[in-house]
Amino acid sequence: MKGADVIALTLKRLGVTVVFGIVGIPVVEVADACIAQGIRFIGFRNEQSASYAAGAWGYLSGEPGVCLVVSGPGVLHALPGLANAQVNCWPMLLLGGSCDTYQTGWGAFQELGQTEACRPYTKYAARPPTVDQIPQTLQTAFRHTINGRPGPAYVDLPADYIQAKLDPVSTVTTAETATGGGPNRAADPVAITQAIRKLRAARNPLVIVGKGAAYARVETDGVLEGLITRSGWPFLPTSMAKGLLPDDHPLCVGAARSQALAQADVVLLLGARVNWMLHFGQKFRSDVTLIQADVAAEEIGQNHPVAIALVGDLKAIVGQLNQALRQSSPASSSQLDNGPATITTATTTTTSNHTKLAQRYRVNDIPMTYHRAFAEIKRALEPVYRDQVVLVSEGANTMDIARTVFDLYQPRRRLDAGTFATMGVGMGFSIAAQLFYNPSSAQTPGELVKSAATQPGNRVVAIVGDSAFGFSAPEIETAVRAGLPLLVIVINNNGIYHGLDPHAYQKEVAQKGLALMPSTALSPDTRYDLLAEAMGARGYWVKTPDELFEAIQEAWVQPQVAVINCMIQPGGPQKLVSN
Ligand code: ADP
Ligand code: MG
């Protein structure tokens, strides 16, 4: 048995079913050994996307997403995925090949202090102390990724370890320790009782549900639903927590976010940090009482005083809250009679926002506005949207506006640029999500078409800005090769935030010269659809609502990677609907 086989066998024993990455010296053998173990290897075109895919897999599956890369530059290209997973609190394991141990310091091929380079962006970074200890180190890394606050880990795999001949007996026994499957720790029962009492006494209680709650699967067994419906407390999901309860739930105040944040007198935070996404808590009332539930005790109190800390696993905590609520005396009559004022105002605001949105959907300009294009996407996907669509969203305006337009009805069905606001994650996320939600067993493109026709499954619809798409467009080839039928809609405004139409672009070049062109402008009318076709996908170039509608309809029934290059107004968004 070689070191490569031990690595693959250990991963298999740890439950790994897919590895994302790019091979080269010295990790080709590792990937091949994984494939021989029945682990799917998805070979990417840039390590950055592979590392993003691993992070997204970690979030969706609750198990570390594994990424395998070559030494030196390969590891450096994967750092963005580590940092992205760290900031989002997602479990992931990066495996980096490295130069032979005895060549360390010689100026070896792609030599880099990789473990040190990864340390700032991981919970754990190590090289197995000896080749025999590969299984233990991998296992330790695994435990770090999923226990406590989830996050990334790095394990260094020197070339001589990968090539080494090993005794199979020792590896078999050492790889068998159970990992325990992550935290399931309940919070202090006294704090639970206090929390329920505070929330019950509140005039305007608000539950903020974050992606930590989505990661913890608090929707399982109807626990979250039970808590919300039993209490009648309004809730506000953060962008990736959308769908834990349906966005059209009567107690969802997502469409009146600012008001809900400003009105609440008692706020229960379920797996959401008081960071930039929640305005550092500065939009809360000055007399607000915060109750924060999080697995990371050190998070509690960050940027805002917290009255009651619920430290533990969110699924356990939501269960405890639910049970305590059932056992406590009924809500005060003031709460029951009128309902929280938040709901009344939220309903008014939601209605008025929907009216505003509906007006925007009807704007018939060509090129289209963002809203017009999104309305068409909604209309075309309507029959399948609730049950089959997995949404990936990135780009500045594209992502912001899409958040107000596309509701979610199922958990973990939206992936976006996240807490780190990383652009370029779209293709890596899409590939991971498509694999997670619809792992087709089709062996050939023909089989894929047939199986999709007989049993329609989940499908990723990635709605991405043209700039965001550009970061990782070659991964279309990855999806084509892997038989993962992504539907990618590039919302193309010829630029970053905004661009110029072809005429204006030419005029500016003529007047100012290339050196003075605005930094936000990309080449007008770039044919991302042709790029996709060149890589084996279907491409559509659409300029009108009808063309967009038809392209989506056609692409949906073809279970094949499709890229719709949708031209919209280059001038940037009209003033946004307030929320
Ligand atoms: P959002 O972006 O939705 O506001 P954040 O990423 O800021 O969410 O916050 C997620 C929080 O959830 C983190 O502080 C993390 O420690 C916490 N978390 C992650 N998994 C769990 C879990 N299983 N139980 C409790 N808290 C968790
Ligand atoms: Mg753009």
Same structural domain, 381 and 506: yes
Q: Distance between CA 268 and CA 284 in Å, rounded?
A: 12
- 481 Cβ contact list (under 8 Å, min separation 6): 43, 536
Structure tokens at 373: 């294009």
DSSP for 496-557, please give it. ESEE--HHHHHHHHHHH-GGGS-TTB--TT--HHHHHHHTTSEEEEE-SHHHHHHHHHHHHH
Q: Distance between CA 328 and CA 364 in Å, rounded?
A: 55
Domain assignment present for residue 184? The answer is: no
Q: Distance between CA 322 and CA 99 in Å, rounded?
A: 53
DSSP for 170-227, please give it. HHHHHTT-----S--PPPPHHHHHHHHHHHHH-SSEEEEE-HHHHHTTTTGGGHHHHH
Determine the 3-state secondary structure of 399 from DSSP: helix
451, with CB counted inside 10 A (0-12, 13-18, 19+), is middle
Structure tokens at 532: 């996709």
Q: For 303, phi and psi rounded to 5 degrees?
A: 70, -10
Domain assignment present for residue 553? The answer is: yes
Mean pLDDT in each 10-residue stretch from start to end of the chain (579 residues)? Answer: 96 97 98 98 98 98 98 98 98 98 97 98 98 96 96 98 84 47 80 97 97 97 96 97 97 94 97 97 97 97 97 97 88 54 77 87 92 97 95 95 94 96 97 90 64 72 98 98 97 96 96 95 97 98 98 94 97 55
Amino acid occupying residue 443: Q
* pLDDT on residue 348: 82
Which ligand is nearest the CA of 292, by number? Answer: 1
CB-ligand 1 contact for 416 (6 Å cutoff): no
What is the chain's percent helix, strand, coil content, to nearest 5?
Answer: 50, 15, 35
Same structural domain, 71 and 133: yes
Ligand 1 atom 7, closest CA: 273
Is the link from the previous residue into 383 a cis peptide, with omega within 30 of 0? no
Domain assignment present for residue 577? The answer is: no
Structure tokens at 475: 């991964």
Domain assignment present for residue 353? The answer is: no
Domain boundary among 175, 206, 227: 175
Print the domain residue range for 543: 362-567
Same structural domain, 135 and 255: no
The 10s digit of each residue's pLDDT in 237-250 is 999 999 999 999 99
- The CA 557 to ligand 2 mean position distance, Å, reads 27
Structure tokens at 35: 């494939």
The β-bridge partners of 387 are none
CB-ligand 1 contact for 414 (6 Å cutoff): no
Q: Distance between CA 28 and CA 340 in Å, rounded?
A: 60
Domain assignment present for residue 574? The answer is: no
Same structural domain, 436 and 544: yes
Same structural domain, 139 and 224: no
- The CA 537 to ligand 2 mean position distance, Å, reads 22
**Is-contact 474 448, C-beta < 8 A?**
no
Give the CATH number, domain containing residue 195: 3.40.50.1220
Is the link from the previous residue into 367 a cis peptide, with omega within 30 of 0? yes
- The CA 421 to ligand 2 mean position distance, Å, reads 16
**Is-contact 271 214, C-beta < 8 A?**
yes
* pLDDT on residue 349: 83
CB-ligand 1 contact for 274 (6 Å cutoff): no
- The CA 93 to ligand 2 mean position distance, Å, reads 32
Instruction: Output the pTM of the full model.
Output: 0.95
Residue 309 is classified by DSSP as E
Which ligand is nearest the CA of 414, by number? Answer: 1
Domain assignment present for residue 578? The answer is: no
Same structural domain, 473 and 426: yes
Which ligand is nearest the CA of 492, by number? Answer: 2
State how many domains the chain has: 3
Domain boundary among 306, 321, 347: 347
Domain assignment present for residue 207? The answer is: yes
Same structural domain, 64 and 213: no
Same structural domain, 371 and 327: no
CB-ligand 1 contact for 25 (6 Å cutoff): no
CA distance to 12, 483, 560, per residue, from 479 (Å): 24, 6, 9
Determine the 3-state secondary structure of 85 from DSSP: helix
* pLDDT on residue 132: 94
Q: Tell me the CB-side half-sphere exposure of residue 315, using CA atoms within 13 A.
A: 13
Q: Distance between CA 153 and CA 234 in Å, rounded?
A: 37
Same structural domain, 441 and 318: no
Same structural domain, 337 and 394: no
The 10s digit of each residue's pLDDT in 11-44 is 999 999 999 999 999 999 999 999 999 999 999 9
- 131 Cβ contact list (under 8 Å, min separation 6): 3, 160, 161, 164, 166
Same structural domain, 19 and 166: yes
Q: Which atom of ligand 1 is nearest to the CA of 183?
A: 23
Residues in the chain, overall count? 579
Give the CATH number, domain containing residue 53: 3.40.50.970
Domain assignment present for residue 579? The answer is: no
Domain boundary among 282, 313, 347: 347
Same structural domain, 236 and 168: no
